[in-house]
């Protein structure tokens, strides 16, 4: 893209994950059928499509019949059809296969896949339909005209870490669009600003998140069959205060995708999801599957878990929001890809109607909401509308509440349940309400770099990279407050929760404590933007092309 001119397009999509690509494909296909010639541009911050997407992933494939009706399911780069599907409860040394799946967790007939590969495939289809895809460009903000979204601006480059323009300075590109569609995925950095500016979340529950830490392994033949799906509950998480569990998906060519997903509403400021995953891998059930194998890729990402009541208004004048950015994810199923695709299709249908009428006003694009209310996505999300909130007070109480929701169509006995912001759930470090993480897992936090890895070693397997000559993309919203609250009161929870060792609590000889930020390690999971207490941290988009370089996630 040329940085000097203003580019004009009919539709601009920010983000090349499943939601953005589905929007582009469906829109381009439908416009072509109607003989309409409209320009569609998609911008992705990863150096290539799929390099910043990370998922489990087991996909519910039904949506593909309507999304790609002319494509044979065999031609989609899924890995394996799920034929073995078990949920296990782990204790520290043992496991028990549950005689039934928790509701919504049946996966027989679904397909495992690498979302990176799936997105590459979808990008080829989009391009074959005339969509212009630009990778390696980071969208920093939307532009407004008369208070209405009118397009985007990409990030200026060639700026040193003090913010001074260097010789190679290039101003970001402005792209003006009749319709801008935000498909940034979880905790979108532009989406967050737009939601705030336009008050799109007024009346909504707080969006809450979990963090998923994932590794891809190659293991000896026979350790696990392709098409096998295990989900684990219990160890190493505490049922009263930590929501989440593990996933292990057997893939073709003796590969295994595995990870631990933990709700960010936990209370112990020393809790560390990455380290908890390393502890989980030492459990005999998991370590047996990995025995003799080796790691190939590592990554981490958050998931929006708030569900239906946390979804913002996902349309405004000239604007729509799709996929994870709008909260299209069913936590009870650990699934969002099919909803990301469906939301993209619904937004595309609303966009076509608006473009044909020449009316991209809020009222016109509210058609997206109407289509949503008539969709399968709505039915799925509405039925599970109180699911995640039930578990914020522990698994036992949550299980009981969930049981009542199942027989009342999702309402439960208490009606709409609220959520607390993830950044406000931590207890002070000196609270006696929990055993600190390092004590809980004493003896299990020495990582051997064969089965278990420290964060820096794992980051190596994410291939994360950032240009060092740029302003730090991680900004303390109030440094003074950070020292007093985050360091003194909570003991620097960022050093614990960041899965990539970006944050380090440095203590000098005199005992003075200070935060050091190793921004180059960042894998763009967005946890710090969500979980940091006090005044918090803002995750700004770094230069386009920076970040992880996933190929099989």
Ligand X SMILES: Cc1cc2nc3c(=O)[nH]c(=O)nc-3n(C[C@H](O)[C@H](O)[C@H](O)COP(=O)(O)OP(=O)(O)OC[C@H]3O[C@@H](n4cnc5c(N)ncnc54)[C@H](O)[C@@H]3O)c2cc1C
Q: Does 498 bind ligand SF4 (CB under 6 A)?
A: yes
Residues 460-489 that bind ligand SF4 (CB under 6 A): 474
Q: Does 473 bind ligand X (CB under 6 A)?
A: no
Which of 7, 10, 38, 56 is the binder for ligand X (CB under 6 A)?
A: 56
The closest of 22, 15, 14 to 337, measured between CA atoms, is: 22
Q: Does 213 bind ligand SF4 (CB under 6 A)?
A: no
Q: How far apart are CA 294 and CA 451, in angstroms?
A: 8
Q: Exposed, middle or buried by CB within 10 Å (0-12, 13-18, 19+), for 81?
A: middle
Please, what is the minimum distance in Å from the beta carbon of residue 523 to ligand SF4?
5
Q: Does 526 bind ligand SF4 (CB under 6 A)?
A: yes
Question: 320 or 515: whose CB is closer to ligand SF4?
Answer: 515
Question: 302 or 330: whose CB is closer to ligand SF4?
Answer: 302
CB 464 within 8 A of CB 548: yes
- Residue 502 interacts, among ligand SF4, ligand X, none and using kind-specific CB cut-offs from 5 to 8 Å, with ligand SF4
Neighbouring CB atoms inside 10 A of 132's CB total: 16
What length does the chain have?
A: 553
- Residue 185 interacts, among ligand X, ligand SF4, none and using kind-specific CB cut-offs from 5 to 8 Å, with ligand X
Which of 189, 386, 405, 419 is the binder for ligand X (CB under 6 A)?
A: 189
What 8-state DSSP symbol labels residue 309?
G
Neighbouring CB atoms inside 10 A of 83's CB total: 14
Which of 49, 522, 541, 553 is the binder for ligand SF4 (CB under 6 A)?
A: 522
Please, what is the minimum distance in Å from the beta carbon of residue 52 to ligand X?
3
Q: Does 275 bind ligand SF4 (CB under 6 A)?
A: no
Please, what is the minimum distance in Å from the beta carbon of residue 494 to ligand SF4?
7
- Residue 523 interacts, among ligand SF4, ligand X, none and using kind-specific CB cut-offs from 5 to 8 Å, with ligand SF4
Cis ω before 214 (30° cut-off from 0): no
- Residue 500 interacts, among ligand X, ligand SF4, none and using kind-specific CB cut-offs from 5 to 8 Å, with ligand SF4
- Please report the DSSP string for 352-420 in residue order: HHHHHHT--SHHHHTHHHHHHHTSHHHHHHHHTTTHHHHGGG-HHHHHHHHHHHHHTTT-TTT-SPP--
Secondary element (H or E) of residue 278: helix 273-281
Please, what is the minimum distance in Å from the beta carbon of residue 128 to ligand X?
20
- Residue 277 interacts, among ligand X, ligand SF4, none and using kind-specific CB cut-offs from 5 to 8 Å, with none
Q: How far apart are CA 119 and CA 215, in angstroms?
A: 19
Q: Does 337 bind ligand X (CB under 6 A)?
A: yes
Provide the token pair at 73: 């399911």
Residues that bind ligand SF4 (CB under 6 A): 474, 498-500, 502, 522-528, 539
């Amino acid at each position: 893209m040329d940085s000097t001119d203003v580019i004009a397009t009919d539709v601009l999509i920010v983000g090349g994950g499943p939601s953005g690509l589905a929007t582009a494909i469906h829109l381009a296909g439908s416009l072509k059928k109607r003989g309409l010639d409209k320009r569609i541009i998609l911008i992705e911050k990863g150096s290539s499509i799929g390099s910043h997407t990370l998922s489990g992933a087991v996909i519910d494939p039904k949506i593909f019949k309507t999304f790609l009706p002319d494509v044979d399911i065999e031609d989609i780069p899924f890995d394996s059809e799920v034929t073995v599907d078990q949920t296990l409860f782990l204790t520290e040394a043992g496991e028990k296969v549950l005689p039934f799946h928790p509701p919504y967790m049946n996966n027989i007939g679904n397909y495992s896949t690498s979302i990176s590969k799936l997105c590459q495939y979808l990008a080829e289809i989009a391009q074959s339909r005339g969509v212009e895809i630009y990778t390696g460009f980071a969208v920093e903000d939307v532009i407004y005209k008369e208070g209405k979204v009118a397009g985007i601006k990409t990030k200026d480059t060639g700026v040193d870490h003090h913010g001074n323009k260097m010789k190679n300075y290039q101003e970001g590109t402005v792209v003006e669009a009749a319709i801008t569609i935000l498909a940034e995925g979880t905790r979108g950095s532009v989406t967050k600003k737009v939601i705030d500016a336009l008050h799109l979340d007024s009346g909504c529950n707080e969006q809450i998140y979990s963090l998923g830490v994932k590794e891809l392994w190659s293991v000896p033949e026979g350790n696990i069959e392709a098409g096998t799906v295990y989900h684990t509950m219990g160890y190493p998480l505490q049922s009263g205060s930590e929501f989440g569990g593990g996933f292990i998906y057997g893939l073709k060519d003796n590969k295994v995708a595995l990870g631990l997903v933990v709700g960010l509403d936990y209370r112990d400021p020393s809790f560390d999801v990455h380290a908890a995953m390393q502890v989980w891998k030492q459990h005999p059930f998991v370590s047996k599957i990995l025995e003799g194998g080796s790691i190939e890729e590592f990554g981490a990402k958050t998931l929006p878990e708030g569900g239906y009541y946390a979804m913002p208004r996902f349309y405004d004048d000239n604007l729509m929001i799709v996929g994870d950015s709008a909260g299209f994810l069913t936590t009870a199923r650990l699934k969002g890809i099919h909803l990301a695709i469906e939301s993209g299709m619904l937004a595309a249908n609303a966009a076509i109607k608006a473009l044909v009428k020449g009316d991209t006003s809020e009222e016109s694009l509210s058609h997206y909401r109407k289509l949503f209310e008539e969709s399968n996505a709505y039915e799925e999300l509405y039925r599970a509308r109180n699911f995640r909130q039930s578990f914020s007070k522990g698994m036992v109480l949550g299980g009981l509440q969930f049981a009542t929701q199942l027989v009342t169509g999702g309402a439960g006995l208490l009606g709409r349940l609220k959520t607390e912001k993830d950044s406000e759930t931590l207890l002070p470090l000196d609270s006696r309400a929990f055993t600190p993480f390092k004590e809980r897992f004493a003896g299990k936090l020495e990582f051997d770099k064969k089965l278990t890895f420290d964060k820096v070693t794992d980051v190596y397997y994410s291939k994360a990279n950032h240009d060092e000559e740029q302003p730090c993309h991680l900004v303390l919203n109030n440094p003074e407050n950070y020292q007093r609250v985050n360091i003194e009161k909570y003991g620097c929870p960022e050093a614990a929760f960041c899965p990539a060792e970006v944050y380090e609590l440095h203590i000098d000889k005199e005992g003075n404590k200070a935060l050091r930020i190793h921004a180059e390690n960042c894998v763009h999971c967005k946890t710090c933007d969500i979980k940091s207490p006090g005044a918090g941290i803002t995750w700004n988009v770094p230069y386009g092309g920076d970040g992880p370089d996933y190929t099989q996630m």
